[in-house]
Each structure stands twice: as structure tokens, then as C-alpha cells.
Amino acid sequence: MTDLRLGIIGFGLRSSLARWAHRPGEGSVVTFVCDDDERGRRDALERVPGVAVTGRLDDLLGSHRDEIDAVLVLTPDHLHTEHAVRTLEAGLPTFLEKPVATTIEGADRILAAAYRTGTRLYVGHNMRHMPVITAMREVIQRGTIGQVRAIWCRHFVSAGGDYYFKDWHADRRNTTGLLLQKGAHDIDIIHWLAGGYTERVSAIGSLSIYGDITDRRDNSDRRMWDWYSLDNWPPTAQRELHPIVDVEDISMANLLIEGGVLASYQQCHFTPDYWRNYTVIGTRGRVENFGDGPGSKVKVWTTRTDAYREDADEVITIPAADDAGHGGADPLLIAEFVRFARDGGPTMTSPVAARMSVAAGVAATVSLRSGGSAVVVPPLDPDVLAWFERSQAPV
């Protein structure tokens, strides 16, 4: 089988995916990288043997278009709409890093471009491939806990000060807010486990810690791994934050999901530990994860007791694995995209679901910044929705 030739647009924080995309002789090879930053181009030359680089997207989609079969868009969030629309209009099957966009309008433009051109679009919601999440979904799918009625997600982000408040993420013009940027993952998984999308949402939140830190620096000459350290603790001791910090560092959203499922999502960026805890309660029991990477456990309770029972009725241990990135999901994510770009067909991730997670995140942010009142999530254009359901029904 001939390797699928891949281009990468943006060789920054998610350039780790190149490790799985560049597999000469195994199905895919990265032939071209486009990054307008000299450091990104230099990193690509060092890490991807034989790759060609350019600083101009016009080159990649113009004179070099025939040298690639598909493309990975890994640029900062606020550039997704511009870049993805262009790659889709160029007829290139497109992997788009999550969130699909930072606005509902931007997400709708991207999906409409795929619909209009008939080009394959894949959104990198890698958590749908995480073994701990797939184990929880399998418990739900086989009916062990009955019909899902409630979902709670607590997201502890110990690295928040390093990951989101020292670079472009801290400026809401680039992200809308972390309820969208960071929450898009979790909202998508809440929807996936619930079997429906958010219809209405209300939220509260604040900039509780990082807004008070006055030590600021323009870090555009650096990358996250230049400053990340476990020694950056406690959160109030963080230094060299982005000059603009106007996104919330703690937020809580309540979601009303199709079918009457109630969900709650909490996100905090100054906790001492880093993991997600999902609790799903059904009409016959509940399932909960303890840890979210290799070696974590999924516990299922289906017998009534009068106290907490640690051993549970069923315990699923997620096998330990080599560090594959993002809880073991990244290689599965890229493998599915390569197959989809080549052959089409159903996928575990969904552009429609990606749009709906953005829409819920935007609505939650609007609610948060307007006193917490309920905000209705606007639906996707029915013609676009029908096209994706016909051409790329999710697994």
C-alpha cells in the first residue's frame, strides 16, 4: 500500500502528532510542513526526516498542492476557520485539531465548506479514543447502568498556569474562553456518553487567581515546554504570564441535554493534580473513572448499599501502556484519520459533535459573562447535518 502523503499546517504545541503521522512504509508519511514561525520550521526539519518546509500557506496549497494527499491543521484555535476552509476548498481531506473553531459562526463555516466541496473533514477529539473513556461508554452501551439520566465531570488542571495563562490561550480574542477551548474535549465526551447534545446551558465562573499576578511577559519567542515546570507552585507564585489575561481560571456549567439528561461540568486551573473525573448515573447504577490514563480504573455500582463501597460491583483496569500521548489516544486518532482520508466511512470522532461542543461552550461562556442566565444552543443547518449523517455517520 502506498503511503498517504500528509502536510502539516502549524508545527507547535500539537506537533507531537507528527510522531504518529510520519510512518514511512506503514501507511502515511509527512512530506510538507507549513509554519510561519521560523522555530516551527526548524523543529520540523529536526524531527521529520526528509520533510520539506515553507512559511507560506499559499505555497502549500498552490505550487506544492500535488505533493500532498491530506493535511493536518494544527494551528492556534483562532486560525482554524481560515486554514480549514482553505484546505477543504483545495479538496484536501482535513484533520482539524480541536476545538473546531472559537465561535459558532466559525465552526459552521468549516462544516459548510466540507458540505459544499464534498471534502472529508475529521476533527481531532482524541478523547473518544482514550481507553478509559471507551471503557465507560461500553458499560453504558451494554445497558449495565440502565438509561443515562445524569453526568458530572470535574476537570482538575494542575498545569493551568503553565498551559493556558502564559501564551495566546490567556487572551479571550484567541479562545473565547477556557470553557470552550479546554472544555470542548469534556463537553464532547459528555454528549457522547449521554447520547445527545446540549439544548440549554447556564454557567458561572471567575478569574480567581491568575488575574492578580502582575508579573507579565510577551512569551511569543518561547513555547510552553520552555517554561513548564512542576516547581511553578503554588499557583500564586506563577510568573511571566501573558500580557493579557482575561479568561476565567475556574468555571462551572449546567447543561440540559436532549432526552432530558442533566449534566454538570466543572473546570479549575489551579488544582495540585491533573485528571478528569466522570460520573455517569443511570436508572440501574452508576459508572465512574479514577484516573484518566493507562493504569486507571473504571468502577461500576449496580447494587444498592447504605454507604460508599470502594470495591464496586465491577472494576475495569485500563492496561498500562507506553507513553503514546493523550492517554494512549493519539496513535489511534491518527490511524483513524489516515484510514478515513484514504477510504472514507464512519469515524469515532464527529464534525457535527465537534461543532455542538463548541456551540455549547460558546453558550456557556455567554451565560457565565452575563450573570448565569440560561442560554439556548443554536442548532446546525439541517442540510449540513443531513449530509454529514449520510457521509460520515459516527461509530
Per-residue pLDDT at 328: 73
* 322 belongs to a structural domain: yes
The CATH number for 187's domain is: 3.30.360.10
**Kind and range of the H or E run holding 73:** strand 70-73
The residue segments making up the domain with residue 135 are 128-328
State how many domains the chain has: 1
Tens digit of pLDDT at every position of the chain (395 positions) = 799 999 999 998 888 999 999 999 999 999 999 999 999 999 999 999 999 999 999 999 998 899 999 999 999 999 999 999 999 999 999 999 999 999 999 999 999 999 999 999 999 999 999 999 999 999 999 999 999 999 999 999 999 999 999 999 999 999 999 999 999 999 999 999 999 999 999 999 999 999 999 999 999 999 888 999 999 999 999 999 999 999 999 999 999 999 999 999 999 999 999 999 999 999 999 999 999 888 899 999 999 999 999 999 999 999 886 556 666 789 999 999 999 999 999 999 999 999 999 999 999 999 999 999 999 999 999 999 999 998 876 66
| pLDDT of the residue at 294 | 86
CA distances from 123 to 89, 114, 223, 302, 386 (A): 16, 12, 24, 35, 18
In a domain, 364, yes or no: no
- Own/partner contacts of 281-284, CB < 8 Å, gap of 24 or more, are 281/145, 281/148, 281/149, 281/150, 281/151, 281/152, 282/140, 282/145, 282/146, 282/147, 282/148, 282/149, 283/145, 283/146, 283/147, 283/149, 284/143, 284/144, 284/145, 284/146
pLDDT at residue 223, as a whole number: 87
Q: What is the pLDDT of residue 2?
A: 92
Residue 34 lies in a domain: no
CB-neighbour burial class of residue 72 (10 A; exposed 0-12, middle 13-18, buried 19+): buried
- Alpha carbon distance 134, 252 (integer Å): 25
- The pLDDT value given to residue 14: 87
Report helix angle 183-194 to 351-368, nearest 10. Answer: 120
- For residue 186, the tally of other CB atoms under 10 A from its CB is 24
Residue 237 lies in a domain: yes
Q: Is residue 350 part of a domain?
A: no
In a domain, 348, yes or no: no
Asked if residue 112 belongs to a domain, the reply is no
The answer to whether residue 23 is domain-embedded is no
Q: What pLDDT was estimated at residue 321?
A: 67
3-state secondary structure 130-195: CHHHHHHHHHHHCCCCCCEEEEEEEEECCCHHHHCCCCHHHCHHHHCCHHHHCHHHHHHHHHHHHC
Compute the distance between CA of residue 6 and CA of residue 93 in angstroms, rounded to an integer: 10
